[in-house]
Amino acid sequence: MSRFPFIFGSQYYRAPTPEPECWAGDLRRMRELGFNAVKLFVQWRWSHRGEDRFYFGDLDRLMDLANENRLAVTLNTLLDMSPLWLFDKHPDAKQISNSGETIEPYAVAHRSIGGHPGPCYNHPGALDERKRFMAAVFRHFRDHPALAAWDVWNEPEQSFQARVPDLRTLVCYCPYCRVSFHRWLRAKHETLDRLNDVWGRCYGSWLQVETPRTGGTLTDFVDWREFHLDTMTAEAAWRLDLAREHDPHHPAYLHVVPNVMAGFNSVTGVDDFALAEKCDLFAASMNGTPATLAQVVSAARGKACYNVESHLNFGSIGMHQRRLALADVLPDFIPQIGAGITGFLFWQYRPEVLGAESPAWGLVKPDGSDRPITKAVETFWATIAPHAEALTRARPPAPEIGLWKSRRNEVFHFAVHGTLAPLIESVQGYIDTLYWSSYPFRIISETMLAAGDLDGLKLLIMPSCYYVTEEEAAALDRWVRAGGVLLAEAHLAGYNGTRGRHSRTVPGCGLAESWGLREADSTSSYHLRLPEGQACAGEAPDDVRQALDDLGSTGARFFPIRLSDGRYAWGATRYASLEGDGLVPEGSFDGLETCLAWKGVGEGHVLYCATNLGEGAVQGADGLRALLGKCCSRAGVSPTMQAVSQEAGRLHLDALTDGETVRFLTIVSRADTPQCVRLRGQGTYRGLFSGQVWTLSGDTELVVPPSLAELFVPA
């Protein structure tokens, strides 16, 4: 196979199941289904049974069977189940939680052989043992003809029980982490005086520096969690480097569960952008949701992307999986292809018969016979396969819209709220609104912004952007002045991450002075009161009138904002009035104060929104969609093929090109009725699954059937 082919197959073996009597028939059946790839797990505890005793006999046999059936193998190394002998040799290598609990190795549903979650990443002895095992694996399998790639880390995380952010269960607080943290702080702050200034402390020596236990003083906690993020990145780096050292001929990568701030997030130790940087390609356990697609493809930054654990076919002993047909596969896989994903491996082929994840997840039944999903994936791949090579050469055009998503800002919000839920909603509101309006966009990390890495970007959106560094603010100012259009939400740089202080004027980090606009006064939406006798002008929808009545006495999380065109958007949680010379009002809550305003800055423009509009989209997205349309128009950004649908927010269109020529179109409808859509383009395209033919000539109106998910190719 070529270095980055379009792969299609399944994960197969998480020892000890499936058992050996299943292997030959299962791999032969995979090939009959048309699969070209399979993934096998190499588990530390299972394959490293004594300090100097390795066991690879089962994997050797599976590799031979894969080769016989022309299945390209990805070997996925798993180190989050410690060998039985490890803690006898290194008893102090166990992770320690914030509450002081020593994390003893244990078995969970997805690590049924025990040893989870493994040792502390900063323990030097345990690190040496991991490296020794990985080197043995690389040497043993590197010359096998079935080997296609190394996946060196399955779903990176610190500790499974700390996956959902909780101060009590955060890890790790062991002595080795404290020593490593001091080293990290020296590299970042350089001098103890600098650390004392930023943290607001009076330490007399580095040895006195404590490991932060709460988020109450903000900057120290952000540093603490960033240290753990960098620890995870360093872990990924050595694994990838070691793979290339022992086997320079096969690509090496890792796969994440995308950091969309829910189960996997910056607080518990995942930075997709940093982890992707050293990978030959990037991969994820994922599905076709907008947030997942945006995070994975954006972190990859142009590298080939695979979905190496499709969770479409999920289940458990408590809830056996759904009966899935082709109509269920298409709405999940078609959006991924439209985003540029060029490979799919299912989790998993045959259901396991051990543990609580059994007997579900299988593409076949526990006895190996077909299920409805078996035929569905066979049909899907047989239809896609003739175009697979061309799909690896086609890519969506580079997006001109950026959505800022900062790991520091995530940690800061957790420190403030004790949860990431409000921030998730802030970001998600923009993701969903842009995606279902067919505006291509990409995630911009705080590191990219600070470095001015915004090439090709015309519009930047910054949701809930409270924690910002001076480097980010300076780069943002330069970009806007050079012609960029910025939509920024409330309290932009209200906390100066460089100085570790709340900004005295907002937007902070010097932006208020540079732009000539400021938040004159701020409050919580829960404290908002509509002045007696005062109401938004014009006719208001019923939900707006009800919200205004409620605000008259009690305040609320959501509140309506009347826009300059008479429509309404919803603010949430935060509110400020704005002042400054040359402001062009865009929205007001009470008809008196401006809380949304445009301001020209150099060659560019800022739409300053002194509330959280993304979060407010939970209440209704029409107003946010209208504002984004104005921003896009001012920035000169259009939807893909200038698509306009009959019902806003119901269709998503992607175009894949090999330069200037559109080679593939994907469309997904979440409408339950036919939708008229107007596109601008040339050529005739045929839907691979529906047979529908689109003939485009300039501006063309088409009818999209309800719930359509389709890949169109040139007819």
- The pLDDT of residue 552 is 61
For 7-164+226-393, CATH gives: 3.20.20.80
Three-state DSSP at 526 gives: helix
238 Cβ neighbours under 8 A, 6+ residues apart: 131
- SS3 call for 24: helix
Locate the domains of the chain by residue range. Answer: 7-164+226-393, 401-635, 640-714
Nearest to 258 by CA among 287, 301, 281, 222: 287
Helices 57-68 and 20-32 pack at an angle, to 10 degrees, of: 30
- CATH architecture for segment(s) 401-635: 3-Layer(aba) Sandwich (3.40)
Helix (H) / strand (E) element for 679: namely strand 675-687
Residue 3: predicted pLDDT:
82
Cα separation values, 86 from 107, 138, 161, 344, 582, Å: 16, 20, 21, 35, 67
> Taking the alpha carbons of 43, 44, 47, 49 in that order, is the dihedral positive or negative?
negative
Would you call 282 exposed, middle or buried from its count of C-beta atoms within 10 A (0-12, 13-18, 19+)? buried
The DSSP letter of residue 162 is G
pLDDT attached to residue 548? 75
The whole-number mean pLDDT for each consecutive block of 10 residues of the chain, a chain of 715 residues, reads 89 97 98 98 98 98 98 98 97 96 94 95 98 98 98 90 86 97 98 98 98 97 98 98 98 96 89 97 97 98 97 93 96 98 97 92 96 98 98 96 98 96 97 98 98 98 98 98 98 98 98 98 91 57 78 80 95 97 96 96 98 97 97 98 95 94 97 96 97 96 97 97
What fold characterizes domain 640-714? Immunoglobulin-like (2.60.40)
